[in-house]
Chains A and B, each alone.
Chain A
Amino acid sequence: AQSVAQPEDQVNVAEGNPLTVKCTYSVSGNPYLFWYVQYPNRGLQFLLKYITGDNLVKGSYGFEAEFNKSQTSFHLKKPSALVSDSALYFCAVRDFITNAGKSTFGDGTTLTVKP
């Protein structure tokens, strides 16, 4: 079985400040981790992924995420938030070897960046 937890329903930050959106996961095998962003009435847009390699992965729009195997976490970060980053963010996990198709998503975190 695989699962994702996003412990914060909402994150509020001021423009220009760093942001972190938290994600923890559970998977029986090797994790394949993703972050997606969703704007109102739109589908999900891929931001970044982690399979293997460096624990810090860089993605679109200046976002990055840090993989921590011991804490089973994959937190999304950005050094300087923009108002346009305000959206709904989803973390997802897939078992890289045994569960090739199915991704499990968290319930999302709404990020609000205030001017």
Chain B
Amino acid sequence: DTGVSQNPRHKITKRGQNVTFRCDPISEHNRLYWYRQTLGQGPEFLTYFQNEAQLEKSRLLSDRFSAERPKGSFSTLEIQRTEQGDSAMYLCASSDDSQPQHFGDGTRLSIL
């Protein structure tokens, strides 16, 4: 069990730029989740996949956000035309069906 891996760990970008984050889940896990966490708050659900199918998207996920899991393995989260309010920690988690989620260490996004 190598754990959930997220890259990069930190991303600093200028407002208006596009960014892409990658998540590699635990290999045998069929579910993959994305959350956003801001200071002083718990993780907020963004979206989740079962294998390659995106089954649920939060209303938090505006049109500027898109997530993919093309082969049911790794996933990418892209944010287009970044805004100041996008600054947060983006967490990825994976699980085997309804078992507890295993989290990566997150990607911290800072918008200048």
Which A residues form the contact surface with B (CB < 8 A)? 4, 32, 34, 36, 41-46, 49, 90, 92, 96, 100-108
A102→B100 CA distance, assembly (Å): 12
- Chain B nearest CB, measured from A89 CB (Å): 10
- Number of A-B pairs whose CB atoms are under 8 Å? 57
Instruction: Check B41 against A107 for contact (C-beta < 8 Å).
Output: yes
Instruction: Check A102 against B42 for contact (C-beta < 8 Å).
Output: no
B109 part of interface (Cβ distance < 8 Å): no
Measured CB to CB, the nearest residue on chain B to A99 is: B56
Given A101-B56, A105-B35, 13 more A-B residue pairs with CB atoms under 8 Å apart are A34-B100, A41-B105, A42-B106, A43-B103, A44-B91, A100-B98, A101-B33, A103-B45, A104-B45, A105-B42, A107-B41, A107-B42, A108-B40
